[in-house]
């Protein structure tokens, strides 16, 4: 019980510190967020180019301007808030790993492996966001060369389901990093040891 209580308190404090508005933290993460996703989408996005650029407008939470240029030359954009889209699930994962009573070597391994998985999840969320934008753009510009599947009812229904589950449900932002933490940090022997502590 003491181990569980110590873990919960430590994780809560670390999470609060990570989410606090430290000078330069948000701007630094936003810059890394843009660079990392620029690289990821340059490798995997098909049918055009995706560019992540700074966006700073007073009163707006969004800090990233995502510009999509299709292969035919048509362009559209969307806005993203890196703090909510990327830093929140990352902070949850970091807090859990740093609070877990395991060896330093295992923590480093968990941070590397789990950090990669969480960032893949973040890229996946952005992919959903851009697929939604592409679908809306295709509907507004039916004369452009888009795949027929973008106008299919099954695609719209499937996309809306994915959006509701993975992007609009706030519990998913916590559930996914928690599952990643369990996968890379916790062993059965750990649970048995913690239960007896």
Residue of 146, 167, 149, 151 lying closest to 48 (CA atoms): 146
Of 36, 32, 16, residue with least CA distance to 24 = 32
What does the pLDDT read at residue 155? Answer: 66
- On whether residue 152 sits in a domain, the answer given is yes
In a domain, 65, yes or no: no
What pLDDT was estimated at residue 140? Answer: 55
d(CA 9, CA 153): 48
pTM of the full structure: 0.83
Q: How much of the chain, in percent, has pLDDT values that exceed 70?
A: 80
Is residue 109 within 8 Å of 184, Cβ to Cβ? yes
Q: Does any domain span residue 116?
A: yes
Is 42 domain-assigned? no
In a domain, 20, yes or no: yes
Dist. CA 38–CA 82, nearest whole Å: 13
What are 64's strand-pairing partners?
Answer: 54, 80
Give the chain's residues under pLDDT 50.
143
In a domain, 143, yes or no: yes
Total number of domains in the chain: 1
pLDDT for 143 equals 44
Q: What is the pLDDT of residue 78?
A: 85
Among 110, 93, 114, residue whose Cα is nearest residue 102: 110
pLDDT at 110: 96
Q: CA 26, CA 29: separation in Å to the nearest integer?
A: 5
Instruction: Give me the helix-helix angle, 170-185 and 88-99, nearest 10°.
Output: 30
Instruction: Pull the structure tokens for residue 180.
Output: 């990643």
Report the residue count for the chain.
Answer: 197
Is 51 inside a domain boundary? no
| Residue 117 within a domain | yes
105: exposed, middle or buried (Cβ count in 10 Å: 0-12, 13-18, 19+): exposed
Q: Model confidence over 49-74: pLDDT tens digits?
A: 888 999 988 778 899 999 888 766 77
pLDDT at 154: 67
Smallest CA-to-CA distance from 136 within 90, 184, 76 is with 76
Structural domain harbouring 168: 2-34+82-196
- Compute the mean pLDDT over every residue in the chain, rounded to the nearest whole number: 83
């Amino acid at each position: 019980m003491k181990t569980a209580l110590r873990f919960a308190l430590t994780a809560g404090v670390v999470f609060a510190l990570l989410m606090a508005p430290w000078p330069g933290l948000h701007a630094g993460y936003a810059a890394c967020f843009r660079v990392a996703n620029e690289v990821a989408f340059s490798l995997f996005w098909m049918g055009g180019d995706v560019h992540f650029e700074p966006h700073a407008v007073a009163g707006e939470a969004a800090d990233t301007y995502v510009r999509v240029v299709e292969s035919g030359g048509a362009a559209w954009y969307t806005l993203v808030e890196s703090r909510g889209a990327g830093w929140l699930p990352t902070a949850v994962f970091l807090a859990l790993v740093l609070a877990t009573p395991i060896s330093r070597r295992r923590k480093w391994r968990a941070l590397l492996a789990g950090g990669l998985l969480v960032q893949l999840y973040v890229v996946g969320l952005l992919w959903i966001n851009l697929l939604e934008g592409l679908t809306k753009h295709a509907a507004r510009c039916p004369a452009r060369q888009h795949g027929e599947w973008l106008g299919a009812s099954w695609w719209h229904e499937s996309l809306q389901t994915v959006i509701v589950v993975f992007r609009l449900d706030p519990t998913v932002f916590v559930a996914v990093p928690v599952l990643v933490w369990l996968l890379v940090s916790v062993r059965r022997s750990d649970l048995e040891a913690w239960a007896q502590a």
